[in-house]
Structure 1
Amino acid sequence: MKPSKHFASDNFAPVHPAIFKAIAEANTGHVKAYGDDPYTDAALKKLQAQFGETADAYFVFGGTGANVLGLKTVTESHHAIICAESAHINVDECGAPEKFTGCKILALPSPDGKIRVEQIEPLLAAVGNMHHSQPKVISISQPTEYGTVYTPEEIETLAQFAHQHELLLHVDGARLCNAAAHLEMGLRDITGDVGVDVLSFGGAKNGMMFGEAVIFFKRTYGKAFPFIRKQGMQLFSKMRFIAAQFDAYLTNDLWLKNARHANDMAQLLAKQLAAIPGITITQPVEANAVFAILPKEAIPQIQQHYFFYVWNEATSETRLMTAFDTTQRDVRGFVNAIQTAMKH
């Protein structure tokens, strides 16, 4: 019998009971559509409490929509967006950023998922040259696609560099809560307060059913977003069902409790795997992802019981994700399955 939980993605996890309850409680009577309702008003106030009173927030369906429309709002089609090679906008969004923004993506190599000023600086040689796409946005993932976490100082360095060169800093924060939990800092501390201009703030990977928020830290940046959201097919008519989730998510630190637990389970998994001869942990475990090289011949047998993704087929590097509902027992069962497969 296959286990009910896997280690492929935190998207596999169910909806947190408090989120489900909030959706059910919002499912009463009639309210105005398209965000002109008390649920949306309450949730936006919760977001401002977390990110600052000047934070200009809008709800959309999912992470790709949040990234693409947030970037489209602050770019023109002759611009370029700079990111890591492993960035979600470069690898996992089926070309949507290029299609809908018209921008060229300039992807930089990064063994740990992070990009740095010294890598970006040479790209600015194209500024002012009509034959080249013009760099406009630096986009980072926090945490990165490798589960590593930018420190506030690293983000501030990127932001200062961007602003000195009339660029903007965008953060793909699909798992931002996991980064904040790791850093033991508030959400605003690692975004608006260190110079982030545009943020995609996710919840679906941390207990929500669906919904993301696009946040502009200067209202002038988001002025056109309501129109771009509609044109981009991300305006939800029954907005209260996204808003109610965010309201619950940001109440009593549910976002933090969920993320902290997922991170703790990743630490436990990494510790137990590191103790097994023949397994190598390839990245610092700073959020809810463990990257580990497993014996190639054992992987198919393990996957018969627990599904997970092979990140690099050539090296047998795997990505193992924990979630808010992962338990110590789940981790032990998974590790036991790995050990059993390696004995055969």
Structure 2
Amino acid sequence: MQHFASDNYAPVHPEVMAAIVAANDGAAVSYGDDPVSARLQVRATEVFGERARIFPVLNGTGANVISLMAAAPRWGAVIASDVAHIHTDENGAPERVGSLKVLAVPSVAGRIGPDAVDRYAGDIGNVQRAQPAVLSLTQVTELGTVYSVADLKLLADAAHAAGLRVHLDGSRLANAAAALGVGLREITTDVGVDILSFGAAKNGGMLGEAVVVLSDDDAVAGPGGPGRLTEAVPYLRKATMQLASKTRFVSAQLLALLGEPGTPTSGTESAAEGTAADGPLWLRNAAHSNTMAARLRAGIEGAGLPEAGVRVTCPTEANVVFATLPRAAADRARAHARFYDWAPGETADRVEVRWMCAWDTTADDVDEFVRAVAAAL
């Protein structure tokens, strides 16, 4: 099935599937006390820094909820973009399950700035208000844009100065790193992220993500804060039903993407002309899906589709293209490949759509889809 609906539609990458099969060799201790999970922990310190501690979980919403619960007290609140997944697409899970109020801040092209912290810093100490405890950022944003390294550092510094911890929803973190030409550590640990939801399923995995604790300094938590993250996450993972009994099969997927201990952590330094052919699987997959999205946008513009009624609405910085077009044309194009409506268009007869590329999207897929959209118009 050809699709431009979601990178979740993509199959499991063969290298990930092979890692799962390899992990299926005999019995192993359950709940993460297995050799595969032990190797994953070693690899996490190589990729994210020696203080990193990784906790495999079952899905991205679980990773986000556990991270936020660990980083905030029960009376805490989370500052996030108005289009953040934790605010719009997780059925209120941080609030229903985590008992944490989400304080939504207007974004520009999906991104927020340090003024998001200033907006709520005055509430700290006011018993009438939910207490801001965490700044949650999404990288890549829900609108397909990417925070620069410098912007992430500014945001983290502002949050820490106010006594807040920093959470990063990294369901597409690999795509951001590939787009910026940096390793995973440069846009997490090195800029001051305290806790990370690391995505795998959208980048070639079968199922499962991870919570990665990057900084465990009590000083970054405000008065009455929850204490050390590494002490909280194991209990929260179990209490929120995110601890897999056969954790080794989730760990195997993460290892396949990150690479085994002792291998290079990033191919961005050695890859020729910005390609990622020699990099770890996370980078190869993400760079490819980003390239396919760039090809899709170039195809739309090169085929004269803007003049025919297609208007690209957001910067194309990772693996997704947003555009508006006539609703009738969008429905006709969907006969060729699945994709989702995102928002109403400029007028009642138009709609904004999201075209998402994945690790398995081919150049032929893109070119055929451009022709299908042209025919639908």
Q: Normalized against structure 1, the TM-score is what? A: 0.96
Q: Which residue of 2 aligns with 1:226?
A: 234
Instruction: Name the SS for the 1:223 alignment partner.
Output: helix
Aligned equivalents of 1:47, 1:281: Cα separation in 2? 38
Cα displacement (A) at 1:255: 0.5
Secondary structure of 1:105's aligned partner: strand
Partners of 1:206 and 1:258 within 8 A in 2: yes
Of the candidates 299, 304, 310, which is equivalent to residue 272 of structure 1? 299
Aligned to 2:248: 240
Q: Deviations over 1:239-279 (max 9, x none)?
A: 11011111111125011000000000000001111232221
Between 269-278 and 186-195, report the one with greater CA deviation.
269-278
Look up the equivalent residue of 1:334 and give its one-letter code.
Answer: F
2-side partners of 1:27 and 1:149: how far apart? Answer: 37
SS at match of 1:31: coil
Query: In the alignment, which residue of structure 2 is the partner of 1:336?
Result: 371
Question: What do the CA deviations read for 1:222-255 (whole angstroms, capped 9, x no partner)?
Answer: 2111111111100101011011111111125011
Aligned-residue Cα RMSD (Å) equals 1.0
Q: How far is the alpha carbon of 1:282 from its aligned partner?
A: 1.1
Distance apart, 1:328 and its partner CA: 0.5
1:184 and 2:210 matched: no
The answer as to whether partners of 1:56 and 1:218 remain within 8 angstroms in 2 is: no
1:261 paired with 2:288, answer: yes
In 2, distance between residues paired with 1:53 and 1:190? 16
Q: From 319, 322, 331, give the equivalent of 1:291.
A: 322
Q: What amino acid sits opposite 1:331 in the alignment?
A: V
Q: Distance in 1 between matches of 2:27 and 2:116?
A: 53
Q: Give the letter aligned to residue 305 of structure 1.
A: H
Distance across 1 between alignment mates of 2:367 and 2:319: 16
Counterparts of 1:128 and 1:245, CA distance in 2: 43
Where does structure 1 differ by over 4 angstroms across 4 or more consecutive aligned residues?
Answer: none
What does the per-residue CA deviation read over 1:55-108, in whole Å, with 9 as the maximum and x for residues that have no partner? 111010000000001110111221110101110000110111001221111111
Q: Give CA deviations for 1:184-206 in whole Å, capped at 9, x if unaligned.
A: 00000000000001100001000
Distance in 2 between the 1:78 and 1:245 partners? 35
Point out where structure 1 has 5 or more consecutive residues left out of the alignment: none
Q: Which moved more, 1:106-115 or 1:326-335?
A: 106-115
Q: Pairwise mapping of residues 18-57 of structure 1 onto structure 2 (< 5 A)? A: 18-57=15-54
The corresponding residue for 2:222 is: none
Question: What amino acid maps onto 1:255 in structure 2?
Answer: W
Distance of 1:78 and 1:247 partners within structure 2: 36
Task: Answer yes or no: is 1:103 the counterpart of 2:100.
Answer: yes
Deviation (angstroms), 1:118:
1.9
Q: TM-score, normalised by structure 2?
A: 0.88
Deviations 1:132-155 (A, max 9, x none): 111111101001000100001101
What is the match of residue 268 of structure 2? none
CA separation in 2, counterparts of 1:210 and 1:329?
A: 27
CA contact (8 A) 2:324 2:345 kept: no
In structure 2, give the amino acid aligned to 1:257: R
C-alpha deviation, 1:112, in angstroms: 0.5
Between the aligned partners of 2:229 and 2:24, the Cα distance in structure 1 is: 33
SS at match of 1:274: helix
Decide whether the 8 Å contact of 1:270 with 1:285 is kept in 2: yes
* Correspondence for 2:147: 150
| Secondary structure, counterpart of 2:321 in structure 1 | strand
Q: Does 1:211 align with 2:208?
A: yes
Conservation of the 8 A alpha-carbon contact between 1:23 and 1:241: yes
One-letter identity of the residue aligned with 1:138: L
What is the CA–CA distance in structure 2 between the aligned matches of 1:70 and 1:118, rounded to whole Å?
23
Q: Deviations over 1:175-220 (max 9, x none)?
A: 0000000000000000000000110000100000011110111243
Q: Structure 2: how far apart are the matches of 1:108 and 1:228?
A: 27
CA contact (8 A) 1:68 1:96 kept: yes
Q: Within the alignment, does 1:312 sit opposite 2:343 as a pair?
A: yes
Summarize deviations over 1:3-33 as a string: whole Å, max 9, x none: x220010000000001011111111111100
* Alpha-carbon distance between aligned partners in 2 of 1:222 and 1:331, rounded to the nearest angstrom: 43
Give the superposition deviation at 1:123: 1.4
* Contact map agreement 1:75 1:101 (CA 8 A) in 2: no
Q: Is the contact made by 1:33 and 1:238 (CA closer than 8 Å) also made in structure 2?
A: yes
Q: Specify the SS of the correspondent of 2:229.
A: coil
- Among all aligned residue pairs of Structure 1 and Structure 2, give the percentage whose two residues are the same amino acid: 46
Residues in 1 aligned to 2:374 and 2:163: alpha-carbon distance in whole angstroms: 53
1:296 Cα offset (Å) = 2.2
| Alignment-mate amino acid for residue 282 of structure 1 | T
Moved more, 234-243 or 278-287: 278-287
The aligned length equals 339
SS at match of 1:12: coil
Does the 8 Å contact 2:325/2:345 carry over to 1? no
Q: Which runs of 5+ in 2 are unaligned?
A: 217-227, 260-278
State the distance in 1 between where 2:116 and 2:55 align. Answer: 32
